[in-house]
A and B are shown apart, each in its own frame.
Chain A
Amino acid sequence: MRLNRRPLLTALTVVLALTLTAPAPRPEAAPAGTVTYAVHITIAPAWFDPADNPGQITPFLIQYALHDAMIKPMPQGMTTPSLAESWSASKDGRVYEFVLRKNVVFHNGDPMTAEDVKFSFERYRGAAAKLLKEKVEAVTIVDPHRVRFHLKQPWPDFMGFYGSPATGAGWIVPKKYVEKVGEDGFKKAPIGAGPFKFVGMTPGVEIVLEAHEKYWRKTPKVKRIVMKSVPEGSTRLAMVKRGEAQIAYKTDGPLGEEVKKDPNLQLVYSGGIATWWLQFGEMNDPKSPWHNPKVRLAASYALDRKALSEAETLGASPPTGSIIPREFEWALPVDPLPYDPKKAKQLLAEAGYPNGFDAGTITPIPPYNSFAEAVGGYLGAVGIKVKLQKMERAVMFDKRRKRELAGICLCANGGFGNAVTRIDADIVSTGVHSILKDAEIDKLFEDQSRETDPKKRQALLKQIQQLVVDRAYFAPIYQLQWPNAVSKTMKVSGMGLIPTFYYTGPFEDIELR
Chain B
Amino acid sequence: MTRFIAKRCLYALVSLFILSVTIFVLIRVTGDPVTLLAAPDAKEADLQAIRVQLGLDRTWPVQYLHFIVGALQGDFGTSLYYRVPAGTLYLQRLPASLQLAAAAMAVSLLIGISIGILAAVNVGRWWDSAGKLIALLGLSMPSFWLGLLLINFFAVYLGWLPTSGRGTAAHMAMPAIALSGYFTAAHMRLTRSSMLDVLGSEYVKLARLKGLPESWVLVKHAFKNALIPVVTFAGINLVLMINVAVVVETVFAWPGIGRLLFEGIEFRDFPVVQTVVLLGGVMVIVANLLVDILYAWIDPRIRL
Interface residues of A (CB under 8 A from B): 42, 44-46, 52, 54-56, 127-128, 130, 166, 187, 202-206, 228-232, 234-235, 238-239, 241-242, 244, 392-395, 397-398, 401, 412-415, 417, 421-422, 424-426, 431-433
Contacts and interface: CB of A to CB of B under 8 A. Distances in A.
B41 A432 contact: yes
Given A203-B89, A234-B151, A398 B38 contact: no
A421 B41 contact: yes
Contacts of A232: 144, 250-251, 253
B253 A55 contact: no
A43 B84 CA distance: 13
B83 interface: yes
A57 to B, nearest CB: 9
Contacts of A397: 31-32, 35-36
Interface residues of B, number: 48
A403 to B, nearest CB: 12
B204 interface: no
A46 B163 contact: no
Given A205-B253, A432-B42, 13 more contacts: A44-B82, A128-B39, A203-B92, A204-B259, A228-B253, A230-B164, A230-B165, A231-B259, A235-B252, A238-B164, A244-B162, A415-B39, A424-B41
A203 B251 CA distance: 17
Contact of B43 (A202, A205, A432): A432
Interface in B31-64: 31-33, 35-46, 49
A204 B92 contact: yes
B30 A395 contact: yes
B262 interface: yes
B166 interface: yes
Top 9 closest A-B pairs, CB basis? A394-B31, A55-B39, A204-B255, A425-B41, A397-B35, A415-B40, A230-B253, A46-B83, A238-B163
B75 interface: no
Contacts of A44: 81-83
Contacts of B37: 54
B259 A394 contact: no
B35 A394 contact: yes
A232 B260 CA distance: 14
26 contacts: A42-B263, A44-B81, A44-B82, A55-B39, A130-B45, A130-B46, A204-B92, A204-B255, A204-B259, A228-B164, A229-B253, A230-B253, A231-B250, A232-B250, A234-B152, A235-B251, A241-B156, A242-B163, A244-B162, A244-B163, A397-B31, A397-B32, A413-B41, A415-B41, A432-B41, A433-B41
Contact of B156 (A229, A242, A426): A242
Contacts of B263: 42, 231
Contacts of A235: 148, 151, 163-164, 251-253
A205 B83 contact: no
Contacts of A204: 92-93, 96, 255, 259-260
Nearest to A39: B253
B159 interface: yes
B293 interface: no
Prevailing SS type, chain A contact patch: mixed
A398 B38 CA distance: 12
B16 interface: no
Contacts of B159: 242
B83 A127 contact: no
Interface string B254-278: 0100011011001010000000000
Contacts of A393: 31, 36, 266
A392 B267 CA distance: 11
Interface string B116-159: 00000000000000000000000000001000100110011001
A432 to B, nearest CB: 6
B44 A432 contact: yes
A481 to B, nearest CB: 16
Contacts of B84: 45
A425 B165 CA distance: 40
B164 A202 contact: no
Contact of A392 (B30, B165, B259, B260): B30
Contact of B83 (A52, A394, A421): A52
A206 B165 contact: yes
B39 A56 contact: yes
Contact of B42 (A127, A241, A395, A414): A127
A414 B263 CA distance: 21
Nearest to A126: B39
Contacts of B46: 127-128, 130
A71 to B, nearest CB: 19
Contacts of B42: 55, 127, 432
A398 B159 CA distance: 46
A165 to B, nearest CB: 11
A431 B44 CA distance: 10
Nearest to A230: B253
Contacts of A415: 39-41
Contact of B38 (A54, A234, A239, A422): A54
Nearest to B256: A204
A145 to B, nearest CB: 32
A327 to B, nearest CB: 17
Contact of A130 (B49, B151, B165): B49
A56 B251 contact: no
Contacts of A46: 81-83
Nearest to B36: A394
